[in-house]
């Protein structure tokens, strides 16, 4: 006996050792076998990071766990992810592990954890889940290879499934999906016990029907696997909190599916209606007081294939119902609803929806609608009517809405409309038949995205076919107020097809402040995370003016005052065209800085960096006010800061804008033609002029005559180039050339043509002695270079050049005089007259008959004399300034 026990113990020990060691022995072989089996049977790339085999986890079964599994499609969906799973667990008999790769493996249990299944069907009907490789060499007697799912149990835990059919314009998303089933797939007929829960989002043809609605289904199905027929035996379903029961069956055929299902609410309590509303909005319906009924019943019967959908008749009704939340002061009364979805042919285009006598009342306000929508999947035909009055503030006093903005205002409507979606899409509004009126009054709206509350005193709409007339719109926000009238061309397209709002308006405003429309800028990228969540827009902390992307309108306006940054424009008129996030200004005029301004151009916020192109026409503007108010003028003409008077200019420019739509100076390019009408110079306002005035002691820069002075400048890349121009300072002509940057660094050259008579009698006599005659009209050219900045200038008076210029003039005059005197002497000799010597100059002239003029001209002496003259001119004491004009 002991010997037998010992043998049994040894056998058990050996078996335990084998069970422990087997996973390590066979792991590499299993990895290769699993990968080969899968990839040989699917037209996709299947990978997993690890494989774990255990004989103890579900003994006596073997458990195979695959980690980080991915299935990546090949053409025509190359690179797309079909499925991902954090973990796939398979349970099977141990003997299945020892079968060769060519023989089928029976899987008893399959579990997917944290999976994502991404199913796509493209516009031509290709499906990315069709990855099974067809064995064209197989015969009727050939044994199938791969896995055989003779399941007893399967689970899908904490997973997501996305289904997108581009051809049908259908999108289905299941989130937080948990599903499990227990049965025996090895039998031809058996029962399958299932439990399912998920959040469902469903979109069809651009319309959202479900958005994260919670759906749950506990169902027992009879499975006829030979005929692929599944029949509901017991079931209990909920959509949000609405209970439903099902009867019927589903059959899967080779080329189509068949369905015959009826469903209904097991009770008629009106709480069933509140239960349809997503749970986060419906809140605690258990404590809600209700009266009346709410019934859902319907049937779906027929074939599902590429041509047909099931015939259906689904009806949702309620009669004289009401509800009141215990924590809210008001109730909703007289609720009636008769909604029906019908399809009698099985053709998708023949599906239509009717809603009759849909009414409700809060206090004395009643609202009603009825209508019909046909061709739900094709050219949708809409025929509906709305009538009633709603105090919007009552809505959140009767229903637990959680809104960032409190509802307010009185909405009134009495509208009928009939149209088809093709006409809306093609903007054939003559096919739209609408009539009636709608209005809202005492409405206000505030948001973190706008700085001030928007208040609508009254807005009214008059519907006439496809056109909507706006006879009155009275609005205010911050300092802004305006009244508008106009027309909306595509109200239905804007409401139903997400088209841009097109229209024309006439706007009158007492005060319009651009600052009231400065919004907090946000980033717009939204990406989906691996968990299926999306990242929303986040504030950047900057303020920006954004032109609405949905607006396509022209506005003819007048405004008594327009406030733009620190500027105040009076009596503004013109036309504004808004389209594609671009505002085009046409014939804009306004009074500003004591004159008028005209604008034509455009501003665009379509790109990340706003841009502009503008033509400005400034007339009779006060120079000081304009310089202080316009940063652009400060950059173009810094000298204007020292001027009092008036100017007019035409400026053509383009470039980038800051977020507040002010020009980004180092990006602008263009040209300007300016004319100073009248001007007085105040040198003390600008360091450049003050220092020039100190160094040029023979003039007062206050005496500059700039009246009617015209100048042209061009600018690009932050640099301003001035076309050469001349002006007069009490008889001194000044020529200016050069340029500067918007950073105020300058590079200018001045040439002062100073008449000798302005240098004084002593200097004039010296020039006369050097040249041999009165040279009071001689011009002394004085070059001056200006560098540095306007408020910190570097002034270079080019004495050497001035001396050289003056010397050359005097020497040339001396030569001319000597030649002339020599000619006169020769003429006298020929005529029999002897030359007389009356002064030293005559002696010089007489000597020229015998000696060349160049030897008689002492150029060095002239140069030294010129230097002395100019040194005195620039180094003397500044003459007293005439203050008479300033006092006057």
Contacts of 734 (CB under 8 A, 6+ apart): 726, 727, 728, 750, 751, 752, 753
- Checking if the pLDDT of 144 tops 60, the result is no
* Distance (Å, whole) CA 433 – CA 464: 7
- CA-CA distances (angstroms) from residue 234 to 143, 228, 502? 37, 19, 55
- Checking if the pLDDT of 335 tops 90, the result is yes
- Checking if the pLDDT of 17 tops 50, the result is no
105-106 and 147-148 beta bridge pairing: parallel
Question: Peptide bond preceding 60: is omega within 30 degrees of 0, i.e. cis?
Answer: yes
- Checking if the pLDDT of 95 tops 80, the result is no
3-state SS, residue 326 = coil
Closest CA to 94 of 65, 62, 63: 62
Lowest-pLDDT choice from 116-130, 239-253, 278-292, 495-509: 278-292
Within 10 A of 287 (CB to CB), how many other CB atoms are there? 9
β partners of residue 779: 755
Read off the pLDDT of each residue in 512-523 and give the average, rounded to a whole number: 65
Better-scored residue on pLDDT, 584 or 150: 584
The confidence band for 415, taking pLDDT boundaries of 50, 70 and 90, is very high
| pLDDT of 148 | 55
- Checking if the pLDDT of 574 tops 80, the result is yes
Residues 173 and 161 sit within 8 Å (Cβ to Cβ): yes
44-47 and 61-73 beta bridge pairing: antiparallel
* Distance (Å, whole) CA 788 – CA 786: 7
- Checking if the pLDDT of 886 tops 50, the result is no
Tokens (6 digits) for 736: 């200016």
DSSP string, 626-643: HHHH-HHHHHH-GGGGGE
- Checking if the pLDDT of 778 tops 60, the result is yes
* Distance (Å, whole) CA 849 – CA 820: 11
Query: Percent of the chain, pLDDT > 70?
Result: 75
The sign of the CA dihedral 326, 329, 335, 337 is negative
Closest CA to 638 of 705, 566, 713, 702: 713
* Distance (Å, whole) CA 215 – CA 196: 8
Q: Would you put residue 561 in left (φ > 0), alpha (ψ -120 to 50) or beta?
A: beta
Please report which helix (H) or strand (E) contains residue 432, including its range: none
- Checking if the pLDDT of 754 tops 90, the result is no
Each residue of 342-363: pLDDT tens digit? 999 988 888 889 998 899 999 9
At what angle are helices 761-771 and 799-830 packed, to 10 degrees? 50
Strands (E), 697-847: 704-705, 709-716, 719-729, 732-741, 746-755, 779-789, 792-797
| pLDDT of 260 | 94
**What is the average pLDDT score of the chain?**
78
Residues 35 and 44 sit within 8 Å (Cβ to Cβ): no
Within 10 A of 186 (CB to CB), how many other CB atoms are there? 14
Tokens (6 digits) for 262: 């009826």
Lowest-pLDDT choice from 202-206, 531-535, 735-739: 531-535
Token pair 């820069």: residue: 701
The confidence band for 770, taking pLDDT boundaries of 50, 70 and 90, is low
**Size (the chain), residues:** 888
The sign of the CA dihedral 125, 130, 136, 138 is negative
The confidence band for 851, taking pLDDT boundaries of 50, 70 and 90, is very low
Tokens (6 digits) for 536: 């929303």
DSSP alpha helix (H) spans, 187-305? 271-276, 279-282
Say which DSSP state 152 is in: S
Read off the pLDDT of each residue in 447-466 and give the average, rounded to a whole number: 82
Better-scored residue on pLDDT, 501 or 4: 501
CA end-to-end distance (rounded Å), the chain: 140
| Burial class (CB within 10 angstroms; exposed 0-12, middle 13-18, buried 19+) of 422 | middle
* Distance (Å, whole) CA 203 – CA 170: 6
Better-scored residue on pLDDT, 755 or 815: 755
| pLDDT of 870 | 60
Read off the pLDDT of each residue in 714-728 and give the average, rounded to a whole number: 88
Read off the pLDDT of each residue in 368-378 and give the average, rounded to a whole number: 87
The confidence band for 334, taking pLDDT boundaries of 50, 70 and 90, is very high
Read off the pLDDT of each residue in 374-394 and give the average, rounded to a whole number: 88
| pLDDT of 177 | 93
β partners of residue 171: 164, 203
Token pair 């029962």: residue: 191
Please report which helix (H) or strand (E) contains residue 89, including its range: strand 81-92
Q: Cα angle vertex 310, ends 308, 312, to 5°?
A: 135
Contacts of 702 (CB under 8 A, 6+ apart): 680, 681, 682, 683, 693, 881, 885, 886
Tokens (6 digits) for 535: 């990242």
CA 351 to chain centre: 38
The sign of the CA dihedral 843, 849, 855, 857 is positive
CA 816 to chain centre: 77
Contacts of 813 (CB under 8 A, 6+ apart): 771, 772, 773, 775, 778
Residues 655 and 661 sit within 8 Å (Cβ to Cβ): no
Better-scored residue on pLDDT, 315 or 771: 315
Within 10 A of 482 (CB to CB), how many other CB atoms are there? 20
| pLDDT of 36 | 72
Residues 413 and 436 sit within 8 Å (Cβ to Cβ): yes
Lowest-pLDDT choice from 68-72, 147-151, 505-509, 554-558: 147-151
| pLDDT of 560 | 94
Better-scored residue on pLDDT, 615 or 100: 615
The confidence band for 30, taking pLDDT boundaries of 50, 70 and 90, is low
| pLDDT of 874 | 57
Residues 104 and 147 sit within 8 Å (Cβ to Cβ): yes
Read off the pLDDT of each residue in 780-809 and give the average, rounded to a whole number: 82
Residues 115 and 156 sit within 8 Å (Cβ to Cβ): yes
| pLDDT of 14 | 39
Query: Percent of the chain, pLDDT > 90?
Result: 24
Better-scored residue on pLDDT, 325 or 401: 325
- Checking if the pLDDT of 404 tops 90, the result is no
The confidence band for 774, taking pLDDT boundaries of 50, 70 and 90, is low
- Checking if the pLDDT of 142 tops 50, the result is no
* Distance (Å, whole) CA 258 – CA 304: 6
């Amino acid at each position: 006996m002991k010997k037998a026990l010992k043998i049994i113990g040894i056998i058990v020990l050996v078996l335990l050792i084998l069970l422990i060691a087997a996973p390590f022995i066979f792991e590499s072989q299993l990895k290769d076998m699993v990968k080969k089996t899968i990839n040989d049977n699917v037209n996709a790339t299947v990978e997993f990071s690890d494989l774990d085999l255990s004989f103890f986890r579900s003994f006596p079964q073997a458990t195979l766990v695959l980690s980080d599994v991915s299935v990546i499609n090949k053409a025509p969906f190359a690179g797309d992810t079909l499925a991902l799973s954090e973990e796939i667990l398979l349970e099977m008999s141990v003997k299945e592990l020892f079968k060769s790769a060519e023989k089928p493996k029976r899987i008893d249990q399959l579990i997917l954890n944290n999976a994502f299944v991404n199913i796509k069907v493209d516009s031509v009907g290709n499906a990315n889940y069709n990855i099974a490789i067809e064995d064209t060499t197989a015969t009727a007697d050939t044994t199938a290879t791969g896995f055989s799912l003779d399941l007893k149990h399967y689970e899908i835990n904490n997973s997501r499934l996305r289904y997108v059919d581009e051809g049908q314009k259908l999108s289905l998303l299941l989130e937080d999906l948990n599903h499990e089933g227990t049965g025996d797939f090895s039998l031809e007929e058996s029962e399958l016990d299932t439990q399912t829960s998920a959040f469902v989002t469903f979109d069809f043809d651009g319309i959202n029907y479900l958005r994260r609605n919670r759906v749950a289904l506990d169902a027992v199905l009879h499975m006829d696997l030979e005929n692929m027929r599944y029949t509901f035996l017991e079931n209990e379903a909920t959509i949000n909190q609405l209970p439903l029961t099902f009867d019927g069956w589903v059959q899967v055929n080779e080329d189509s599916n068949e369905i015959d299902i009826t469903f209904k609410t097991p009770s008629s309590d009106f709480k069933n209606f509140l239960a349809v509303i997503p749970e986060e909005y419906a809140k605690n319906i258990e404590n809600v007081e209700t009266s009346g009924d709410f019934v859902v019943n319907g049937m779906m019967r027929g074939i599902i294939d590429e041509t047909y959908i099931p015939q259906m008749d689904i009806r949702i009704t309620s009669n004289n119902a009401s509800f009141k939340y215990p924590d809210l002061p008001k109730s909703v009364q007289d609720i009636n609803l008769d909604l029906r979805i019908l399809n009698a042919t099985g053709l998708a285009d023949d599906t239509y929806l009717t809603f009759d006598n849909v009414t409700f009342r809060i206090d004395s306000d009643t609202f009603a609608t009825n209508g019909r929508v046909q061709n739900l999947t094709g050219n949708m035909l809409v025929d509906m009517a709305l009538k009633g009055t709603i105090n919007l503030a009552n809505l959140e006093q009767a229903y637990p809405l959680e809104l960032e903005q409190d509802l307010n205002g009185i909405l009134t409507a009495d509208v009928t409309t009939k149209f088809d979606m093709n006409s809306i899409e093609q903007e054939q509004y003559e096919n739209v038949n609408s009539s009636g009126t709608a209005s809202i009054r005492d409405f206000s709206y505030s948001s973190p995205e706008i700085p001030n509350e928007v208040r609508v005193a009254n807005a009214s709409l008059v519907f006439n076919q496809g056109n909507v007339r706006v006879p009155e719109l009275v609005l205010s926000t911050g300092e802004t107020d305006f009244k508008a009238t106009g027309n909306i061309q595509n109200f239905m397209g804007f409401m139903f097809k997400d088209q841009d709002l097109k229209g024309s308006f006439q706007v009158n405003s007492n005060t319009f402040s651009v600052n009231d429309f400065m919004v907090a800028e946000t980033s717009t990228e939204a990406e989906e995370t691996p968990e299926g969540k999306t990242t929303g827009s986040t504030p950047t902390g900057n303020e920006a003016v954004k032109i609405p992307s949905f607006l396509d309108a022209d506005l003819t306006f007048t405004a008594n005052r327009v406030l733009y940054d620190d500027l105040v424009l009076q009596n503004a008129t013109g036309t504004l065209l808004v389209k594609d996030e671009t505002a085009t200004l046409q014939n804009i005029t306004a009074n500003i800085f004591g004159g008028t301004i005209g604008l034509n151009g455009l501003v665009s916020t379509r790109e990340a960096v706003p841009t502009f192109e503008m033509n400005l026409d400034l007339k009779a503007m006060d120079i000081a006010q304009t310089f202080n108010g316009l940063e652009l003028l400060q950059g173009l003409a810094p000298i204007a800061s020292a001027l009092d008077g008036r100017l007019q200019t035409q400026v053509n420019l383009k470039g980038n804008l800051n977020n507040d739509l002010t020009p980004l100076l180092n990006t602008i390019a263009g040209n300007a033609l300016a004319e100073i009408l009248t001007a007085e110079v105040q040198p003390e306002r600008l360091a450049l002029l003050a220092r020039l005035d100190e160094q040029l002691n023979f003039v007062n820069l206050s005496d500059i005559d700039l009246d009617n002075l015209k100048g042209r400048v061009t600018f690009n890349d932050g640099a301003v180039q001035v076309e050469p121009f001349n002006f007069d300072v009490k008889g001194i002509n000044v020529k200016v050339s050069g340029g500067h940057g918007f950073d105020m660094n300058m590079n200018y050259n001045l040439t002062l043509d100073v008449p000798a008579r302005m240098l004084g009698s002593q200097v004039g006599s010296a020039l006369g002695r050097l040249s041999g005659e009165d040279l009071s009209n001689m011009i002394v050219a004085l070059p001056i270079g200006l560098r540095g900045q306007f408020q910190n200038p570097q002034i270079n008076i080019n004495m050497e050049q001035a001396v050289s210029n003056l010397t050359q003039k005097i020497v040339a005059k001396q030569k001319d005089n000597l030649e002339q005197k020599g000619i006169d002497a020769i003429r006298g000799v020929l005529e029999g007259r002897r030359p007389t010597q009356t002064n030293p100059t005559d002696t010089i002239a007489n000597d020229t008959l015998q000696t060349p003029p160049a030897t008689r001209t002492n150029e060095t002496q002239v140069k030294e004399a010129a230097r002395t003259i100019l040194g005195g001119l620039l180094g003397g004491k500044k003459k007293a300034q005439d203050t008479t004009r300033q006092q006057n």
